[in-house]
Structure formats: C-alpha cells, structure tokens
Structure 1
Amino acid sequence: MSLIVIFLFLGLAALGMPLAFSLGVSALGGLVLSGFDLAVLPPRIMNSVNSFPLMSIPLFMVTGELMLKGGIMERLVDFANAFVGRVRGGLAQVALLSGAGLASVSGAAVADASALSATLVPSLKKQYGLGFSTGIVAAAANLGPIIPPSGAMIVYAFMAGSSVSVGGMFMAGVIPGLILVLVLMSLCWLISYVRDYPLVGEKVSLSNILHQLRRSFVVFMMPIVVIGGIVGGAFTPTEGAAVGVVYALLLGFFVTRRLRLADLPGVLLQAAKTSAIVGAMIAYASTVTFLFTIDLLPMQLAGFVNQLTESPTMFLILVALMLIVVGMFLESNAAYIMLVPLFHPIAITYGIDPLHFGFLFVFNLVIGMLTPPVGVVLFVVCGITGVKMGELVRESWPFIVAMYVLLIICMFVPGIVTWLPHRLGY
C-alpha cells in the first residue's frame, strides 16, 4: 500500500499537478485502498497543523517580505560593496555578500532569488553578461535556507520531532554557511580571472566601511536579536519570528522609510500564499505518514538499509545519493515532509548525531533547488530575468559542484556542523 501511495504522489507531481493536491489525492487514495474509515482524515489533518511551532513559518515569511519592501537590498549592496573593493569579479562578490546578508533576514531561497534577480542582475549583466550574472544570483539565493533563520530547517525540525530543535538546526548552519560564502566568492574570483572580466569597484576605504557599517547596523541587528533570542532561550522560534515582524515594521517605517501602509496587504497576501502551500503539504503528509506507519514502512525500510550496510558513513552516502536524485525531481518542502519521518529515526539507530544528519539532509535538498529539471530557484531566476534555462544551468554548474564538495566535506568532518550547536548546549 505504501508503495502505491508513493508512486501515485510521484505520478501526479510528474504530470505537473500542484504538490499539495498530489499529496492530498495520494493520502485519500491510500485510505481508500487500505479500507480505513475516511472519517479519520479530518481530525488527523487538523491536529497536524494545529501546532504553535509551525506559526514561525508564516511569521518568518512576513518578516522577509517586509525587509524586502523596506529597502533592505540597497543597504546590503552598499555594505557589501564597501568590503569588496577593486578585485576580479568584484560586482559578483558584492552579489554573493548581499545574498548572505539577505539570507540572514529572510531564510527562503525563492524570496531571495526574486529580490536579487530584480535588483542586481541589471548591473551585473553589463559587466559579465546575462548567463554568468544569473548563475551568481541563483547561487547567492541558495544561501537563504542554509544561513539562519531558515524556513527549511524549521520544517525539518518539526517533521523530525523532539530529537531536533529549531535553534540547534539554526546553529548547525552557521559555520557551513560562512564557509560556503567564502567558497563561492573564491570561485567567482577564479572564473572572473580565467575569463578576464574587467576590474570594477573602488579601493577599500576604512571611512567608507565605517559609514556603511553605521548605516546598516540596525539591519544586521535584526538577525542578532531574533536568532540570539532563540538560541539564548529568551523566546521560542515562533515568538522570535513575531519579534522579527515587529522589528521589520519599525525598520521599514522609521529607519529606511521605504515601507508604506499600502505595501502591507501585498506582503501579507504573498506570505499567506506560501504558508498555505506549506501548511497544506504538512496537513496531507500527516495522513501519508500515518499510512506508512500502519504499513510498517519505516521498520521495513530500516531493515532493508541494515541489510545493505551496518556502517553509519555508508548510510549517509546512500541517503545523500538518494537525495541528489530526489532533489532533481521533487520540490524540497515535499521531500522534507515525505522523507524526514522515514530516514531520521533510522539515522538515530545508526548513532548519527541528529543535527549532523539534519543539516546534511537540508543542504542536499537545498542544492536540489539549483538542479534541473525541477530546480525552483532556476525557474524563478529565469522568469524574472528572461535568461534561457540552458544558459543558466550551464553557468550554475560550477557553483553546484562547489556546494556538493562542501556537502561531502561536512559529511566526513561532522565537527564543521556540530561544533557550534554542541558548544551552545544543543
């Protein structure tokens, strides 16, 4: 029965059906085939989304939308530009640093891809052409779910249960996220050097750095207040997200003065659309998970994996290979909801650190947002900039390979992921 549900879901998704609809039909079909009373469906759906921690997802989305409408991108670009100076690929480095700064306040790759494409690509393509410019923007947008706060990590922690905390997942992404920024910036310099792109930008000036730091200080205080409060135990992730909304409103109205009351309905509508999609998938996936449980699929899968290998490292490699394929064909939120309840318990039985496994899981699927044929970031960038998909994919491959190399390093050197959260008591 479980296999029928999985194939039904994958078949509907492959036909282009919305993922929430595909999950709902799969859950309903599974209940009909299993002979269960359909009356169990409504209360299970309601209980799955009647969760206080899940409220952090729409609140963080509202925070990100408010920061974008409030003119945050202009200050981030100016701040990044002050630090880069006159180097090869300087404007590309600015885009990556801007993406990292935006990631610290939004936590969503799709929102970051929209903002970066609209604001930076017109300037970038004058120096590097449309293909390389959009490849840079796509890579920068993918920092969103890695650098905290991260909507993907919230979904993972919720689906994994009590063994993983949102704060722990956030801290697990800090060091790899910073390393990824440096790796991508180095790769940009190398590509620019090989292609002999012109030098742009001005020499680094301490006075300009201090000026931009003062100008952007209140912006960077937002992730410090929100994430620091969550990690320090001052408030829960949901309360922290609410603090972020208030902070973004104050920043947009009184600091940048770019936010208008007329912008609020559009901000709320956009956040509501995205939240509704995620909420619907979680609701319907709870029924699918229930069907997996009564069909003993987790136990059967655990037994199958144990027959293949008793090595935790080999288990991580097998899961990574599977997620590479899944990331190419399945939207990441659907993958978290379908697969985390299956593989997270197995990882614990292998003695793998839950935060280590959780970060590798998220990072792998985040990379999948850049890989065709169903790379959602690729579609967003193509839709906004007009670049051809083939050209964007060709320019994105160096960044994708760099991300996979870092994923492999994190897999075999878990301390990169776990050192900071363990030092903070997670």
Structure 2
Amino acid sequence: MAAALAASLLAAAPFGDGARANAASADSAIRILLDNVPLPFDSAPKAANGVTLVPFRAIAEALGIAVVWDPKAKTIRANGPNGSGEPTSVVLRIGSKTAEADGAAVPLLAAPVMQNGRILIPLAFFGRQFGAQVGWDAQTRTVSIRSPQREMRMLGFYALSSYGQIGRVSALNSVAFGWGRIDENSQFTVSGIDFKWPQPAGEVTPEKIVEAVNSAPADTYLMVYSENRKGELTKLLSDKTLRDESIEKIAALAAEKKFGGIMLDYEELGWKDDPGTAKKLLNEYVSLLADKVKPSGIRIGLALHPLNGAYKGYDYATLGKLADEIVVMAYNYHSETTPEPNDRVDSAIRLALDAGVPKEKLLLGINVHHENETSVGDKLGLAKRYGLSGAAFWRLGLLTEAEMRAIDAAAVKEEG
C-alpha cells in the first residue's frame, strides 16, 4: 500500500488572490515535509480511490515553479527547472488523465479535479518532471519531498583558521575575509587578537589570496567584525569622530587591497542598549559608508542578527535599501553546538522578507559549526523555498567532507 501511495501521490493548489497559505488543522491525517521542514498548506491532504491528494500550489511555489490556472480552458500550466536545471513545461487539464510534458503526452494515474476552489494534480508525475524526490511514510502518514539541486549565490566566510579549506573557494561565488574588527577602544584595527590581517606564509600573502579569489572568478569582501559587550560598538556609532575615522580607514583599506565590497558584521546591538537608538545609529553609519564607497564600485554587505533573536537593534527595512545584500545570521538560538531549530530559521527568513528586504538581496547565514551533513540540507532547502539569493556559510575551516557533499547535493554556485 505504501508503494502504491508513493507512486500515485497527488497535489492540490489554490489559484487566485490568496495570501500565504495557513497551516492545515492539527488533526489532518497527512502532513507534508519539504526538505525535512513542514510545509504549510490551506487544504488538508486526503486519500481518494487509493490515491493521496495534497496541496499543489504551496509545493509548486516552494520549489520555484511558476503555476498558471486558465479557468476557461480548465488547464494548469507549470513552468520551471527540472532536476537538471533545464526549463521544462507541464500542462494538465481538469478531467483528463493525459498530461503534456514539454509537448509529449503522458498518462496520469488520476485526472486532475477541482475541489473547493483547489486544483488536484498527480504529484508523482509532477515530481518526475521537476526533479523532486518524493517519499511516503505509511506509519506516520507523512509525505516527504526533497527539492532538486539548484543554483544560488554561495558565500563563504574566511576568518580565524580558514586556510586549510581555501580549495573550497572554487565552489563559491563570494568570499568575505574577516581580517578587520572594532577593538575595545572603538577603533578600527587589523592587528587585534582575532579578525586580524594574516601574516604571509612564504609566498602566500593575504593580498595574493584576495587577488586569486577575485580572478576565480568570484567577488570579495573585507569583513569588519565588532561585538558590543563593553559598549564599544555603541560608542563607535554615536561618536562622530570615531565613526568618521573608522569609515575612512575601512574604505581606504578596501580600495587599497582591491576588495570588491565591505561586509559589516556589527553584532549585539539592541540588547543592553536602547534598540531604537541602536537602529538609528547603525542606519546613519551604513548610509555614510555607502555614500563613501559606492561611487567607486565597492559594494556593501551586512551580516545581521535575525529579527527573532535576542538583539533588537537592526532596522531591516532601512538597511535593506542601503545594502547590496544582507546575510541573515539565523543561528545561535541556543548555546549548544547542535543544529539550529528549523522553525526558528524559517521564521527569521519570513520576518526579513516581511520587513521589506527583497529576496534577491537575502542570503541565509548557516553556522556549520552547529549543523551536520543532514541538517545543512534542511537550511538550504529553506533558502530555496523562499527564493533567496543564496546562502552564506560561517565559516571555511569548519566544514566536514560529509557536509560539503550534502551542500553540493542541495545547491551549487550560480553561474553567469
């Protein structure tokens, strides 16, 4: 029975002006996991004539598939990349047990039907066409879907002890070099106890590493780190002299060393200090830095605490307009080095999007020190689900071979 159900899964989708689908009632007999994370839907799955029916639009949109319903012709058109990343097109008709896949007729186990304003289509067929892997657990009555590999922007942080995995740069679109920080005196420095400019190792110099990455081809950031445990970051942002000096020094170093961008990782704002004041000060700082460097073609990236975290000093709406891209650091929800809770990561993404940051500017930050070869795919699945620009990995030097294989199976760097 389980095999039959797996082979004949169906999907249903709403069409029209509906808002984001709400979760079905808790007593639904069947649930859906996409990349091991529950997928919300607004029509409970059910079985009919030996076939399992599940919502289609939520699945299609989460897989990046464009779906169009033609009420006059009673057809559903789905267009998107297949498992190999090539474009493919599917047409299904209400009441017809024959579908079209790239113009070829394909028989269906069940005809698409309309139910309460929802369209039901065979998911097994859909999965084969678009590369999703579908499973069925009869005991838990769970539909599991693993999204196909997709291209996305891949960024890696290079800091502390990362040189051992410099070869991983070939799998990245961008590298953020954590070689500068704000010290306890609220001064920008590249010679602190950490996040400092590396010493040459023979002929291998920091400058040559940056040059090699820039010609990979990939782009580079000078990452500047600051914490705020002693109020040093608040002091920097609120003192005009310290603020302006740091901006001048950071901009000059980025230009001199030929970094393509500046990534600010200014942490812990809005915890011990007033969140409203912190937001205002950081907005002003980023605006001044952008005015300084953007005319010369240097990009601005920001690594920000998530909106559902402990630090409330980040105005995503304004920063999303000032920055070229934002890394949502959706981690450190707990102190253990165990995988971050998927529901909290999901919420962090949705809150960033709801704040008005375009998905094209958002990278999901993944702390690989907390993840493993199974959970890292869950996080990449969420980045794909919401159509984010990509993912950013903290950090090179921490990845295991198994984690790199899992990452490569779920996503590869975008080309072109």
Same fold (TM over 0.5): no
TM-score normalised by length of structure 1: 0.22
TM-score, structure 2 length as denominator? 0.22
Determine which structure has the larger strand proportion and give its number: 2
Larger RCO of the pair (alpha carbons < 8 Å, separation 6+): 1
